[in-house]
Structure 1
Amino acid sequence: MLKMISKPAVKLVERYLPDPYIFVLLLTLVAAVAAIAVERQTPLAVLRFWGDGFWNLLTFSMQMLLVLITGFMLASSPPIKRILQRIAGKATNAGNAILLVTLVSLTASWINWGFGLVVGALFAKELARLVRVDYRLLVASAYSGFVVWHGGLAGSIPLVIATEGHFTADQIGIIGTGSTIFAFFNLAIVVCLFIAIPLVNRMMLPDEKDSVYIDPKLLDDQIEAPGRATRPAEKLENSVPLAWMIGIPGLLFLLDHFLLRGGGLNLNIVNFLFLFLALVLHRTPRSLLNSLNEAIKGGAGIVIQFPFYAGIMAIMIQSGLAQSMSEWLISFATETSLPFWSFLSAGIVNLFVPSGGGQWAVQAPVMLPAAEALGADIPRIAMAVAWGDAWTNLLQPFWALPVLAIAGLKAKDIMGFCLIQLFITGAIISVGLTWF
């Protein structure tokens, strides 16, 4: 049945979903018109919101570009290639490949979202080299595991409210991860998704006549092999001791961060880990630079699109549109149904404000008073917003850009399959938030 349903969904998305750049331009226009029509903002005010906020994600854009580049460099190192090949060798047919890539992506994303995005995409490419499988569904399966990230160890909203001095601390105090990430209802949702998502992906596997395959030769990363060093400069470029004298201290810093200082995973630490592992495992600076030249080709979408999303976020937040959307959706909620409406409102807002931390800043002033007035469980409401933020990433190409860049596909190639997962995971999360 899922195979039958996914076929028209894939065709629909392939026909009508534009390139992510066109998508972000259309979202910009929708947000601007809505701010004027709904919030009664003047065109000049909206123009100023947009322009002033356009570069607010520069740091995050660089972080995301480095997720792509450092992850690619690490995976292209000889030792990691051998590990990926060994794991991929466990898949003996197309169905096994789909299940395996989904489980690897789910696990990696639950640990850290940046780690999950890169590992899932790179592992999908490795499987496609070894197994004849629909490449679109394989990459969509890798991306679908990303939906669990906000319920995992690096979920930004549960980590924010567990941190002393967070911006709502005076209102709700410090809420530990035992009440959010490791609460029964959240773990139950995660377990259900770990079971359902791989099975749904497997059941969507198209018949051979409807499948789209890729020539494994096209997946080979054309990284130039270092030649024989003759000049002093070339000897430095191919110096193993030079690379290790910088790479090993970087890894020692990470040991100090995790073991002695008790630090956790965040995006900067993940990028630091990827970079210095890559530096050590490539052995020479020249090998790393050759890998970098190949990795950078996929970063164009991130560079050009993320500033537009920053502008959209500024319009949504500064105009009051995001708050109005949230207030309307929870206006008819009860104590029991508030988690569901919080989840749904967060999913809608996420299409325009694709940032977990930014979304909590927008929705917390609305959701927390509503939860207090209705007597709802505040940790559950916070996680409802977190899950809503993660859920519609299955439809929002913002987060798929690194995956698509690594895989060499376009958003329309995978979003039809992700659309099916959107409805199924939405039902599971809704039930979990309301009844578990």
Structure 2
Amino acid sequence: MLKTLSRPAVKLVERYLPDPYIFVLLLTVIAAAAAIAVERQTPLAVMRFWGDGFWNLLTFSMQMLLILVTGYMLASSPPVKRLLQRLAGLAKNAGAAIVLVTLVSLAASWINWGFGLVVGALFAKELARQVRVDYRLLVASAYSGFIVWHGGLAGSVPLTIATDGHFSVEQIGVIGTGETIFSLFNLGIVICLFIAVPLVNRLMLPDEQESVYVDPALLEESKKDRVRIQRPADRLENSVTLAWLVGIPGLLFLADHFLLRNGGLNLNVVNFLFLFLAIVLHRTPRSLLESLQEAIKGGAGIVIQFPFYAGIMAIMVQSGLAETLSGALISFASETTLPFWSFISAGIVNIFVPSGGGQWAVQAPVMLPAAEALGVDVPRIAMAVAWGDAWTNLLQPFWALPVLGIAGLKAKDIMGFCLIQLFVTGAIIAAGLTWF
């Protein structure tokens, strides 16, 4: 069944799926054309909407970039790497390795999506060094845990609407994470996925004759040369004292924020937490900066694409296109079915806008008016968009690139396994959003 379903999907993706930057260009053209054709706006007016709004998400863009970068730096710190080595020793056979890498990836992705991507890939490599297991499924299992990220502590949509001054604050106000991330319906979905995803991955384990193995020697990391102190600047760059003089007060500030001031989670708090944990755990500024150089490579797409998302959002809102699409959605959706259709539409949009933050910027002008018109709970609609974004990441390989880069594989190597998970998790999330 796996071969029958996955082979045409892999070929289709290999042939027709371009770089995500191409998607954002196409979406810009489509939004502009729709504003002209549907809303009868002039090309000059649409161009002005686009240009005037192009830089409206600069703060948001930096927040998204930092989520990825800080998560990567924390995951690549020496203590986390040592923990992964010890955990890998718990897997005694291929089936146990598949279940274990999935659970670790799910837990890490729920904490922070950048952290989860890197931890999953590093843990898969460590398991492959110690256990004889199909390497494709092992890496696919590591990536499948990413499905829960948008329902977790670093979810872009719930943290955005929980942050003062977010771009929809005048419409919906500030919505705390108790109504989104920690709501019963969201936690119910997360628990179901923690059960189903490892089980499905285990059931997909190929027979030994069909498995693809990797030589453990190829996965060994090159050992870094011993640091040589030759000048005063070297002492500062490798000073544990200097790093901890800044890192520990940062963590104390967070303790004060949560324990004494009863502060909540938002994008800035999550980024602050992961940054200062990384500073402390890397021990020296040099180690942190080397990790940063690797982390920033995976964030290049965010830097160039988010201004285009802001431009698209401006076209949709200023032209009236968002209001028109909202009205079309209301015409066939009901109070009961709007969360489901929000989830499905978000899954489709995610193929073209492979970023939770960027997608919310594009879809919020459509979904929020629809929710208000039908009297639907706004936090549930926001989480429906969030889960739709996370769901089709199993098909859209944009966020798999960091995992594949670390593991040394290509998208076609894992896409067949991810396709099966797409159908299973889609059914679970849709049911949870509709009936939980």
TM-score of the pair, normalised by structure 2:
0.81
Q: Name the SS of the counterpart of 2:332 in structure 1.
A: coil
Q: Matched residues in 2 for 1:276 and 1:63: separation? A: 15
Q: Is the 8 A contact 1:367 1:381 kept in 2?
A: no
Equivalent residue, structure 2, for 1:255: 255
Please list the CA deviations of residues 72-110 of structure 1 after superposition, one character each: whole Å capped at 9, or x if unmatched: 333333322110111122233443333222222222333
Please list the CA deviations of residues 275-324 of structure 1 after superposition, one character each: whole Å capped at 9, or x if unmatched: 33333333333333333344444444444444444444444444444443
Which of 369, 372, 397 is the matching residue for 2:372? 369
Runs of at least 5 residues in structure 2 that lack an aligned partner in the other structure: none
Q: Matched residues in 1 for 2:120 and 2:299: separation? A: 17
Please list the CA deviations of residues 113-152 of structure 1 after superposition, one character each: whole Å capped at 9, or x if unmatched: 4443443344334334434444444343333333333434
| Displacement after TM superposition at 1:427 (Å) | 1.9
Q: Is the 8 A contact 2:257 2:263 kept in 1?
A: yes
Match status 1:77 vs 2:77: yes
Letter in 1 for 2:12: L
Q: Is the 8 A contact 1:98 1:141 kept in 2?
A: yes
| Displacement after TM superposition at 1:174 (Å) | 8.2
Deviates more, 1:291-300 or 1:246-255: 291-300
Equivalent residue, structure 2, for 1:199: 199
Match status 1:430 vs 2:416: no
Q: Is the 8 A contact 2:104 2:120 kept in 1?
A: yes
Q: Matched residues in 2 for 1:267 and 1:404: separation? A: 26
Equivalent residue, structure 2, for 1:387: 387
Equivalent residue, structure 1, for 2:233: 233
Q: Is the 8 A contact 2:329 2:370 kept in 1?
A: no
Equivalent residue, structure 2, for 1:271: 271
Deviates more, 1:31-40 or 1:204-213: 204-213
Letter in 1 for 2:432: G
**Cα 1:80–1:377, aligned 2, differ >3 Å: closer, same or farther?**
closer
Q: Is the 8 A contact 2:35 2:315 kept in 1?
A: yes
Equivalent residue, structure 2, for 1:324: 324
Q: Is the 8 A contact 2:156 2:356 kept in 1?
A: no
**Cα 1:153–1:61, aligned 2, differ >3 Å: closer, same or farther?**
closer
Letter in 2 for 1:243: A
Q: Matched residues in 2 for 1:308 and 1:211: separation? A: 42
Letter in 2 for 1:197: V
Equivalent residue, structure 2, for 1:95: 95
Q: Is the 8 A contact 1:223 1:291 kept in 2?
A: no
Equivalent residue, structure 2, for 1:337: 337
- Aligned pairs for 1:86-235 within 5 A: 86-155=86-155, 180-206=180-206, 214=214, 216=216, 219=219, 224-235=224-235
Q: Matched residues in 1 for 2:102 and 2:144: separation? A: 7
Equivalent residue, structure 2, for 1:287: 287
Q: Is the 8 A contact 2:57 2:306 kept in 1?
A: yes
Q: Matched residues in 1 for 2:322 and 2:103: separation? A: 34
| Displacement after TM superposition at 1:404 (Å) | 4.8
Identity of aligned residues (%): 79
Which of 339, 347, 358 is the matching residue for 2:361? 358
**Cα 1:293–1:215, aligned 2, differ >3 Å: closer, same or farther?**
farther
Q: Is the 8 A contact 1:326 1:345 kept in 2?
A: no
| Displacement after TM superposition at 1:351 (Å) | 4.4
Runs of at least 5 residues in structure 1 that lack an aligned partner in the other structure: none
**Cα 1:82–1:160, aligned 2, differ >3 Å: closer, same or farther?**
closer
Q: Is the 8 A contact 1:312 1:352 kept in 2?
A: no
Equivalent residue, structure 2, for 1:48: 48
**Cα 1:286–1:426, aligned 2, differ >3 Å: closer, same or farther?**
closer
| Displacement after TM superposition at 1:406 (Å) | 4.7
User: What's the C-alpha RMSD, in Å, of the aligned pairs?
Assistant: 3.8
Q: Matched residues in 2 for 1:382 and 1:296: separation? A: 28
| Displacement after TM superposition at 1:18 (Å) | 2.5
